[in-house]
């Protein structure tokens, strides 16, 4: 639980630091991308903090490059 | 804002190393380690310094080191089990010497060495020795004079005897592992013996005597095949080994005078060159040893002012040295069949293609290698005097 | 927006050098010795020479549109959607590598210096200074690189000086036993880490380099300096530790520093030498991270990349703890997938650009003026 609170506090600090300038400049697009990324970041850190399994992007790459690898190595 | 940040940064200095802090008073510094095999289990010994006894103040006069031991199915397990006995965690970072039991060496040392090369705290620059006719516990139990910490005594006397006498050979862990894995070179480890009464040797009484009841001595060189001990070399053979493998720094050697009696040559410099090659499909090795020395003592009558005498002494030395080296090589080729000199590596360096053909049955090939030994001594001086006063003694 | 940052050619040269040394200094000697044994240093030399060709390819591409970053160039040459797709792959790669380098620094510290410290805290600390660096911008990164390169080379000089008595030439003999085939085969991982991945440098080369003509030259020189450092490290590792130990050690160059012992006086200085690895790793990670942040901003046509830094840093720190379950997985992945990923982005993609550019040359020549 402590970890979750810590992550949320950090996220709040980031929001507090980053959002006002974006609102001021009225950069809507930036704000949207920023929010999405921050959500992913917070989500992933919480999953890690709570010991939930996180899908490994490398396994996806291995899947994609496996055929190429097999062609070259053989 | 900046002042605040600065204050936080300064304060954070006090927070360093939260997880990896290790206070000196929580560590037991191990200087010597022993490994032995007892009934399918490893018994590990740790000779640990007692800090209060080593310091000048507050010494109560008890022994400067203490010995912990534990048994376990792996070395690591035994090592950690020691904390059941020791009040502090054993810290191996300053390890100076590792004593392997003879029985363990005969069964193979490979498994027990893995931990030592894998653990992050251990540095691979300590010496490895094998006990002869005794056990690691007896060796590590012996108190010593002059160097009050036995591990330091063992470390220094090995280093010194190698430098001044060449009848021992110091092997560090990384050298040992390199030899163990090499195709063309087998390992050797210096033997260590306990001379005298081991019962008294372990108490403080031992160091209160002028000549201690028990003392630790290096002698003989153990020969390995793979990671198993197969035999011992005599002192003379050990010196020959040192000459061939170019590890002689200084040494002395008795030779017979032309007309009977003895003289001693003090070797100041030695350089050996081992060249391997394949001649007509057969591996051959040339050993060229260049030695420089002085006349150390003369215990016979001869005229040292004569150039001919010097040349004659050089010849006698060379002849005797070649004979000893040949005998040593013969022992290894015939009796132990193990290539401790690194002839295989020499052939590998010279002719990698041929080597790849013979390396799988190198053990048999080694026994048939023709070795040509060539020793060249240069006597540079006769010490502080010319002719011996023995010349003038009338009898 | 970010095109305003300007770094000098000298600063660019330093960044190239640090990028080339980066991870290679830790892992290359071990990987090379595993295959080529005592000829590992020859492989490094051959690899560096081949790497020069790859660098040449990058310089060729860069000079077509000197005012565009690699992402913008992809769009210009391959068209909007294909370009964006390819760029996404490129950004993905550099982001993965940024987190994998975080993993490297974490494992390195964890194995040798701080074994009881949780890797998460090590990675987060490293991620924080990387985020700070990228937030301050390319100019600041380049200036700090200028200072740290001095520290790096002073440490490097002392390391080489102190370890040289331990060199045993028997360990590298017989020279060139491995044969041409093995040498060529084992160069690929070397080329991958040193030169192929340098494609991420196209994110600020030559756009942000003040003297564009000189920049190509410093790309080459920087690469050669970095390559020589790695060749020296490989040679020292093999000649001091022997081919077997070099291959068996996870971080052979650190083991090298452990062996330093000058007269029982100058010894146990490996913790100081760890500064070398940390400096090189830091700058390489920062460049990867900078490239991925800037890349995402440009793909989405954002005005400023700065808001993305902190959230992405957070994701990178988490990924660095997840992507490699252990060191063995990492080594295995690098050999089977990582190398193909790098080569398809760093060699195949530039060659594709060259081919398309040759076909669309006339059409493209007009485009920059109209846009």
Statement: residue B62 has pLDDT above 80: no
pLDDT given at position C371? 40
Q: How many residues make up chain A in this entry?
A: 74
C252 close to B (CB below 8 A) = no
Statement: residue A52 has pLDDT above 90: no
Copy the structure tokens of residue B341: 């000199």
Return the domain boundaries, chain B: 22-233, 234-395
In a domain, C274, yes or no: yes
In a domain, C369, yes or no: no
Query: If you average pLDDT over every residue of chain A, what do you get?
Result: 84
Determine the 3-state secondary structure of B31 from DSSP: strand
pLDDT given at position C370? 40
Of the ranges B282-291, B292-301, C211-220, which is most confident? B282-291
Cα separation of C48 and C28, whole Å? 12
Cα separation of C268 and B17, whole Å? 19
Instruction: Render pLDDT for B184-196 as a digit per residue (tens, 0 to 9).
Output: 889 999 999 988 8
Residue B259 near residue B302, CB atoms below 8 Å: yes
pLDDT given at position B297? 85
User: Half-sphere exposure of C285 toward its Cβ, with a 13 Å CA cutoff?
Assistant: 28
Q: Looking at residues B257-262, what average pLDDT do you find? A: 82
Please give the tally of structural domains in chain A. 1
Find the range with the poorest average confidence among B1-10, C101-110, C189-198. B1-10
- The CATH number that applies at residue C176 is 1.20.1740.10
Q: Is the peptide bond before C206 cis (omega within 30 degrees of 0)?
A: yes
Residue with the bigger pLDDT between B280 and C124: it is C124
**Cβ-defined contact of C311 to A40 (cutoff 8 Å):** yes
Percent of chain B with pLDDT over 90: 19
Percent of chain C with pLDDT over 70: 97
The count of other CB atoms within 10 Å of the CB of residue B390 is: 13
Q: What's the DSSP call for residue B286?
A: E
Which pLDDT band, with edges at 50, 70 and 90, does C295 fall under?
very high
pLDDT given at position C102? 93
Measure in Å the smallest separation between the Cα of A2 and chain C Cα atoms.
15
Instruction: Render pLDDT for B199-231 as a digit per residue (tens, 0 to 9).
Output: 888 888 888 888 888 888 888 899 998 889 999
pLDDT given at position B28? 87
User: How many contacts (CB atoms, under 8 Å) link B and C?
Assistant: 38
Statement: residue A24 has pLDDT above 80: yes
In a domain, C131, yes or no: yes
Percent of chain C with pLDDT over 90: 39
pLDDT given at position B16? 58
The count of other CB atoms within 10 Å of the CB of residue B227 is: 20
Of the ranges B57-61, B308-312, C33-37, C231-235, which is most confident? C231-235
Among the residues of chain C, which ranges form H helices?
A: 9-21, 24-36, 40-62, 70-78, 80-112, 119-136, 138-163, 179-194, 212-241, 243-248, 252-258, 270-299, 306-322, 327-333, 339-343, 349-370
pLDDT given at position C68? 85
Candidates C119, C244, C262, C267, partner chain B, best to mutate (most B CBs within 10 A)? C244
Residue C260 near residue C266, CB atoms below 8 Å: yes
Q: Is the peptide bond before C174 cis (omega within 30 degrees of 0)?
A: yes
Q: Looking at residues B288-310, what average pLDDT do you find? A: 86
Minimal Cβ distance to C337: which of A40, A54, A69 = A69
In a domain, C360, yes or no: no
Among 3.40.50.1100, 3.40.50.920, 3.30.300.210, 1.10.3230.20, what is the CATH number of B234-395?
Answer: 3.30.300.210
Secondary-structure breakdown of chain B: helix, strand, coil percentages, each rounded to the nearest 5: 40, 30, 30
Long-range interactions of A23-31: CB distance < 8 A, separation 24+: A27/C302, A27/C303, A27/C304, A27/C307, A29/C300, A29/C301, A29/C302, A29/C303, A30/C302, A30/C303, A30/C304, A30/C307, A30/C308, A31/C307
C153 close to B (CB below 8 A) = no
pLDDT given at position B35? 92
Instruction: Render pLDDT for C176-222 as a digit per residue (tens, 0 to 9).
Output: 777 888 888 888 888 988 889 999 998 888 888 888 788 889 999 99
Cα separation of A45 and C310, whole Å? 13
Identify the domain containing residue C192 by its residue range: 2-352
Statement: residue B17 has pLDDT above 60: no
**Cβ-defined contact of C174 to B20 (cutoff 8 Å):** no
Copy the structure tokens of residue B343: 């002839």
Give contacts of C308 with chain A, Cβ < 8 Å: 30, 33-34, 37
C242 close to B (CB below 8 A) = yes
Copy the structure tokens of residue B390: 């023995």
Candidates B113, B124, B179, partner chain C, best to mutate (most C CBs within 10 A)? B124
Minimal Cβ distance to C323: which of A10, A27, A58 = A58
Identify the domain containing residue A58 by its residue range: 2-73
pLDDT given at position B15? 61
In a domain, C361, yes or no: no
Which pLDDT band, with edges at 50, 70 and 90, does C367 fall under?
low
Give contacts of C336 with chain A, Cβ < 8 Å: 62, 65-66, 69
**Cβ-defined contact of C311 to A65 (cutoff 8 Å):** no
Q: Looking at residues B351-370, what average pLDDT do you find? A: 85
In this complex, the chains that touch A, judged by 3 or more CB pairs closer than 8 A, are C
The count of other CB atoms within 10 Å of the CB of residue A31 is: 16
Statement: residue B8 has pLDDT above 80: no
Query: Across-strand partners of B347?
Result: none
Please give the tally of structural domains in chain C. 1
In this complex, the chains that touch C, judged by 3 or more CB pairs closer than 8 A, are A, B
Instruction: Render pLDDT for A56-65 as a digit per residue (tens, 0 to 9).
Output: 888 888 888 8
In a domain, C371, yes or no: no
Minimal Cβ distance to C174: which of B174, B177, B349 = B349
| B abuts A (3+ Cβ pairs < 8 Å) | no
Instruction: Render pLDDT for C126-176 as a digit per residue (tens, 0 to 9).
Output: 999 999 999 998 999 999 999 999 999 999 999 999 999 888 888 887 787
In this complex, the chains that touch B, judged by 3 or more CB pairs closer than 8 A, are C
Decide: residue B16, CB within 10 A, 0-12 exposed, 13-18 middle, 19+ buried: exposed
Residue B140 near residue B263, CB atoms below 8 Å: no
Decide: residue C4, CB within 10 A, 0-12 exposed, 13-18 middle, 19+ buried: exposed
Q: Looking at residues B311-322, what average pLDDT do you find? A: 90
pLDDT given at position C1? 46
Instruction: Render pLDDT for B164-173 as a digit per residue (tens, 0 to 9).
Output: 888 888 899 8
| CA A35 vs CA A3, A39, B253: distances in Å | 21, 6, 84
Instruction: Render pLDDT for C7-22 as a digit per residue (tens, 0 to 9).
Output: 899 999 999 999 999 8
Give contacts of B174 with chain C, Cβ < 8 Å: 241, 245, 259
Instruction: Render pLDDT for C222-272 as a digit per residue (tens, 0 to 9).
Output: 999 999 999 999 999 999 988 888 888 888 888 888 888 887 788 788 888
Is beta strand B65-72 parallel, antiparallel or unpaired with respect to B89-91?
unpaired
pLDDT given at position B365? 85
Residue with the bigger pLDDT between C238 and B385: it is C238
Which pLDDT band, with edges at 50, 70 and 90, does C283 fall under?
very high
Measure in Å the smallest separation between the Cα of A29 and chain C Cα atoms.
7
Cα separation of C237 and A53, whole Å? 39
Give contacts of C174 with chain B, Cβ < 8 Å: 348-352
């Amino acid at each position: 639980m402590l970890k979750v609170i810590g992550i949320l506090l950090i996220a709040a600090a980031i929001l507090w630091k980053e959002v006002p300038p974006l609102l001021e400049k009225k950069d809507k697009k930036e704000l949207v991308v920023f929010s999405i990324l921050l959500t992913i970041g917070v989500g992933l850190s919480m999953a890690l903090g709570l010991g939930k399994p996180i899908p490994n992007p490398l396994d996806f790459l291995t899947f994609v490059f496996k055929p190429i690898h097999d062609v070259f190595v053989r | 804002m900046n002042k605040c940040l600065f204050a936080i940064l300064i304060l954070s200095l006090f927070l360093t190393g939260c997880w990896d802090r290790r206070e000196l008073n929580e560590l037991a510094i191990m200087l010597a380690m022993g490994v032995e095999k007892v009934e399918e289990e490893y018994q590990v010994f740790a000779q640990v310094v007692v800090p209060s006894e080593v310091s000048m103040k507050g010494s109560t006069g008890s022994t400067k080191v203490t010995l912990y031991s534990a048994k376990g199915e792996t070395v690591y397990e035994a090592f950690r089990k020691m904390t059941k006995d020791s009040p502090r965690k054993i810290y191996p970072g300053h390890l100076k010497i590792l004593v392997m039991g003879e029985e363990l060496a005969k069964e193979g040392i490979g498994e027990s060495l893995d931990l030592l090369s894998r653990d992050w705290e251990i540095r691979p620059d300590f010496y490895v020795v094998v006990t002869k006719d005794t056990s690691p516990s007896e060796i590590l139990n012996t108190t010593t004079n002059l160097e009050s910490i036995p591990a330091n005594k063992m470390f220094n006397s090995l280093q010194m005897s190698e430098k001044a006498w060449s009848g021992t050979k110091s092997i560090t862990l990384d050298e040992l592992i390199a030899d163990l894995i090499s195709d063309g070179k087998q390992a050797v480890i210096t033997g260590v013996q306990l001379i005298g009464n081991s019962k008294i040797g372990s108490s403080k009484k031992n160091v209160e005597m002028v000549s201690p009841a028990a003392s630790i001595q290096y002698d003989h060189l153990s020969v390995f095949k793979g990671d198993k001990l197969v035999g011992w070399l005599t002192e003379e053979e050990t010196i020959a080994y040192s000459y061939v493998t170019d590890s002689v720094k200084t040494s002395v050697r008795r030779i017979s005078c032309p007309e009977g009696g003895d003289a001693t040559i003090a070797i100041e410099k030695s350089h050996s060159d081992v060249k391997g090659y394949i001649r007509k499909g057969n591996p051959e090795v040339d050993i060229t040893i260049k030695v420089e020395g002085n006349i150390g003592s003369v215990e016979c009558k001869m005229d040292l002012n004569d150039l001919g005498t010097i040349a004659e002494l050089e010849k006698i030395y060379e002849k005797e040295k070649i004979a000893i080296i040949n005998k040593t090589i013969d022992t290894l080729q015939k009796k132990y069949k193990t290539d401790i000199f690194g002839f295989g590596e020499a052939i590998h360096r010279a002719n990698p293609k041929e080597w790849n053909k013979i390396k799988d049955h190198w053990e048999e090939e080694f026994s048939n290698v023709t070795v040509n030994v060539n020793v060249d001594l240069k006597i540079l001086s006769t010490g502080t005097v010319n002719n011996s006063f023995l010349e003038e003694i009338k009898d | 927006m970010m095109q305003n940052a300007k770094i000098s050619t000298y600063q660019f040269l330093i960044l190239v050098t640090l990028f080339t040394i980066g991870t290679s200094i830790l892992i290359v000697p071990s990987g090379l010795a595993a295959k080529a044994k005592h000829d590992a240093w020859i492989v490094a030399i051959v690899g560096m020479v081949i790497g020069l060709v790859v660098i040449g390819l990058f310089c060729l591409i860069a000079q077509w549109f000197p005012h565009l970053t690699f992402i913008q160039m992809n769009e210009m040459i391959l068209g909007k959607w294909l370009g964006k797709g390819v760029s996404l792959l490129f950004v993905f790669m550099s982001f993965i590598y940024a987190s994998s380098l975080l993993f490297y620094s974490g494992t390195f510290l964890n194995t040798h210096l701080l074994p009881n410290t949780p890797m998460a805290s090590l990675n987060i600390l490293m991620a924080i200074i990387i985020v700070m660096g990228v937030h301050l911008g390319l100019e600041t990164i380049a200036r700090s690189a200028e200072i740290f390169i001095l520290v790096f080379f002073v440490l490097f000089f002392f390391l080489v000086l102190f370890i040289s008595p331990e060199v045993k030439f028997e360990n590298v003999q017989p020279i060139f036993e491995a044969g041409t085939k093995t040498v060529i085969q084992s160069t690929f991982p070397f080329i991958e880490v040193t030169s192929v991945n340098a494609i991420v440098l196209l994110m600020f080369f030559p756009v942000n380099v003040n003297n564009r003509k000189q920049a190509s030259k410093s790309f080459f020189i920087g690469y050669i300096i970095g390559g020589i450092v790695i060749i020296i490290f490989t040679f020292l590792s093999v000649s001091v530790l022997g081919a077997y130990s070099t291959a068996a050690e996870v971080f052979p160059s650190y083991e090298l520093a452990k062996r330093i012992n000058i007269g029982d006086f100058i010894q146990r200085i490996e913790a100081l030498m760890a500064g070398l690895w940390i400096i090189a790793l830091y700058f390489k990670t920062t460049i990867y991270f900078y490239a991925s942040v800037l890349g995402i901003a440009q793909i989405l046509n954002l005005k400023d990349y700065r808001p993305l830094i902190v959230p992405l840093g957070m994701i990178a720190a988490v990924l660095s703890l997840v992507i490699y379950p252990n060191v063995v997985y990492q080594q295995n992945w690098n050999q089977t997938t990582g190398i193909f990923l790098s080569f398809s982005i760093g060699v195949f993609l530039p060659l594709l650009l060259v081919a398309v550019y040759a076909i669309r040359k006339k059409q493209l020549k007009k485009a920059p003026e109209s846009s």
